[in-house]
């Protein structure tokens, strides 16, 4: 099962965190942008080229200490098809360095259309009798609002190809409660119902660490709900956004883990990509600053997860 | 406001339907595939090239009788970044022919990330002080599970750039009720609550036909809910999938319209793209067959929408 591969990488590195690669052009050091614009043009193509160089340098510096990256599709799509090519190249490069790749796309649809998304990110497309991977990621975030019709095509491919998904359950943003916290007539909240569906969708894909291929997104900014979901969803692996920039602290995040220090991976994006700006170091040193921030984050979180600490 | 432009096109053509361009490679005639594979290779690049030729030929044949196209992002992403380039080129071509373009991407996220999606599809990205459109669509489908934080970036750009969004409310698939039909403790269903949020999100962008820039996706397969939503959401324009292939009939679909014959646009995808297969005509005639199906669909639906019938 897919999350077995991710969990093995987490144990190997002693690091339950994922580096979010959400590269706004503002985050890219000037010297990289200048060179890319000169070589490729000061346009979407040049922007996409600059972002790829930025990503690769960060991946080079962190691939031995961080188990996974999570590129956010929106930041690549913003630069059009050139940006989407950079998403592909980033995934390819991270995999070549042994990292697990979670595409954060929050995709959702039904039937044949959801199969197309599944083929795009976790499977392959048939062309003239041969199969080709569109993006070749290891996992994809998805939105379960459409019910089982939107998830079944994914779980089938997850089982066949050793991949995983994370379903949005309780998101980290301030207004997440507008819909997700509403109480149902049958009892419990909407996010509770969504969490319950994750356990059900995953029941046939439970791996050797006790977690299925159907994970859940549960925000670091709601520690009580994290603890509640951890207790109620024993086979659901969590992707936890909202640590750091959005205000989630390490002590709260610790509630996402089980007694073995497993069961969750915590994301940080901006703090890693912009570490050089925060440090005030030379921008040439951006990738090493990203590494320093990854190590700081690892120490911060594992201090509260003693079972995992190396 | 954006849907004023769409509604004006619907009135002009007397046709409240949209052609879904969800091009699986299986739908593309052999003669196009053969040529594309020879020219570009029998791979993702060749597939993307074949799909673009297919799309353009259909657009050429229907642009005078159909107000809009709705490319479904999944079918382009399945062919990797080459496919995404075809999505861009398809949008560009349809706009050059005067069509309104709805990208069906069901995107969703929060804050800066949702801004990135908004910039990608409805706005533009800044590169070295200039603005560049990533995809340049007129409207985007979105998923509102994350609440107002996920919608506010869109409504701002809709107002500024004369664009629109469609929020998933009650989808057309069989399992849509698993979550969407659940009863809330406060009364009403989850899809009701989502519909109410659409009215609220749109209240500052109501155009001259009485509809805001925030529309809703309500499936043709649930006519009762269509009628219910039409009555409860007077300022929310509907995108109605599920007609034809999924089983929604014209009489049920008619419930999506107001007394002026406005308020909704009905999608059909496979029946248009594969009309030549169903007709059994020469595959060289695929685009004219698509046109015939568009006219058949228009007549079928407008028979129940007399106020719009030309």
Please state, in angstroms and rounded to a whole number, the distance separating the CA atoms of residues A9 and A301.
Answer: 17
Q: What is the CA radius of gyration of chain B?
A: 19
CB B52 within 8 A of CB B86: yes
Band (pLDDT 50/70/90 cuts) for residue B310 is low
Band (pLDDT 50/70/90 cuts) for residue A67 is very high
Contact yes or no for B116 and A24 at CB 8 A:
yes
Question: Which active-site residues of A does the annotation give?
Answer: 106
Average pLDDT of chain B is: 95
pLDDT, residue A217, reads: 96
Q: What is the pTM of this model?
A: 0.96
pLDDT, residue B309, reads: 73
In this complex, the residue of B44, B111, B186 whose CB is nearest that of residue A182 is B186
Q: Which residues on chain A are in Cβ contact (under 8 Å) with B149? A: 173-176
Task: Please compute the mean of the pLDDT values over residues B98-105 and round it to a whole number.
Answer: 98
Q: What pLDDT digit, counting tens, does each position of A39-57 carry?
A: 999 999 999 999 999 999 9
* Residue B298: closest CA among B272, B260, B259: B272
**Partner residues linked to A126 by β-bridges:** A131
* Residue A248: closest CA among A272, A226, A273: A226
Band (pLDDT 50/70/90 cuts) for residue B38 is very high
Q: Which residues on chain B are in Cβ contact (under 8 Å) with A185? A: 182-185
Which of B24, B45, B108 best tests the A interface by mutation, with the highest count of A CBs <10 A?
Answer: B108
The yes-or-no verdict on residue B173 having pLDDT over 90 is no
CB B225 within 8 A of CB B218: yes
* Residue A270: closest CA among A245, A291, A250: A245
In this complex, the residue of B77, B128, B148 whose CB is nearest that of residue A178 is B148
Nearest CA in chain A to B182: A184
Band (pLDDT 50/70/90 cuts) for residue A308 is confident
3-state secondary structure string across chain A: CHHHHHHHHHHHHCCCEEEEECCCHHHCCHHHHHHHHHHHCCCHHHHHHHHHHHHHHHHHHHCCCCCEEEEEHHHHHCCHHHHHHHHHHHHHHHHHCCCEEEEEEEECCCHHHHHHHHHHHCCCEEECCEEECCCCCCEEEECCCCCHHHCHHHHHHHHHHCCEEEEEEECCCHHHHHHHCCEECCCCEHHHHHHHHHHHHHCCCCCCCCCCCEEEEECCCCHHHHHHHHHHCCCCCEEECCECCCCECHHHHHHHCCCCCCCEEEEECHHHHCHHHHHCCCHHHHHHHHHHHHHHHHHHHHCCCCCCCC
DSSP strand pairing (A17-21 vs A68-71) = parallel
Q: What pLDDT digit, counting tens, does each position of A223-239 carry?
A: 999 999 999 999 999 99
pLDDT, residue A247, reads: 77
Q: What pLDDT digit, counting tens, does each position of B221-280 carry?
A: 899 999 999 999 999 999 999 898 777 889 999 999 999 999 999 999 999 999 999 999
Residues contacting residue A115 through CB under 8 Å, at least 6 positions apart: A153
What is the distance in angstroms between the Cα of B297 and the nearest Cα belonging to chain A? 22
DSSP strand pairing (B214-218 vs B130-132) = unpaired
Band (pLDDT 50/70/90 cuts) for residue A244 is confident
Q: What is the CA radius of gyration of chain A?
A: 19
In this complex, the residue of B81, B134, B184 whose CB is nearest that of residue A183 is B184
pLDDT, residue B149, reads: 87
Query: What is the SS3 assignment for B45?
Result: helix
Residues contacting residue B47 through CB under 8 Å, at least 6 positions apart: A125, A127, B25, B33, B36, B79, B82, B83
Please state, in angstroms and rounded to a whole number, the distance separating the CA atoms of residues B214 and B234.
Answer: 12
ipTM of the complex: 0.96
Nearest CA in chain B to A178: B147
Band (pLDDT 50/70/90 cuts) for residue A1 is low
Q: Please count the CA atoms within 13 angstroms of the CA of A31 that sit on its side-chain side.
A: 5
């Amino acid at each position: 099962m897919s999350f077995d591969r991710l969990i093995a990488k987490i144990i190997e590195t002693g690091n339950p965190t994922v580096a979010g690669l959400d590269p706004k052009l503002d985050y890219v050091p000037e010297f990289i942008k200048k060179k890319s614009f000169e070589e490729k043009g000061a346009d979407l193509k040049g922007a996409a080229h600059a972002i790829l160089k930025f990503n690769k340098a960060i991946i080079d510096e962190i691939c031995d200490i961080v188990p996974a990256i999570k590129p956010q599709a929106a930041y690549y799509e913003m630069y059009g098809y050139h940006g989407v090519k950079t998403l592909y190249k980033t995934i390819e490069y991270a995999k070549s360095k042994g990292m697990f790749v979670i595409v954060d796309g929050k995709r959702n649809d039904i039937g044949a259309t959801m199969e197309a998304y599944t083929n795009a990110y976790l499977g392959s497309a048939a062309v003239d009798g041969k199969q080709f991977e569109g993006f070749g990621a290891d996992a994809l975030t998805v939105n379960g609002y459409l019910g089982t019709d939107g998830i079944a095509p994914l779980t089938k491919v997850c089982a066949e190809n050793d991949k995983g998904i994370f379903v949005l359950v309780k998101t980290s943003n301030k207004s997440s409660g507008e819909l997700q916290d509403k109480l149902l007539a049958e009892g419990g909240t909407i996010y509770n119902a969504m969490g319950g569906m994750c356990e059900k969708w995953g029941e046939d894909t439970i791996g050797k660490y006790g977690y299925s291929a159907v994970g859940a997104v549960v925000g670091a900014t709601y520690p009580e709900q994290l603890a509640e979901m951890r207790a109620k969803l024993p086979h659901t692996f969590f992707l936890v956004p909202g640590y750091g920039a959005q205000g989630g602290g390490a002590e709260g995040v610790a509630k996402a883990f089980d007694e073995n220090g497993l069961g969750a991976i915590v994301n940080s994006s901006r703090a890693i990509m912009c570490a050089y700006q925060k440090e005030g170091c030379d921008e040439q040193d951006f990738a090493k600053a990203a590494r320093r921030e990854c190590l700081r984050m690892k120490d911060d979180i594992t201090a509260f997860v003693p079972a995992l600490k190396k």
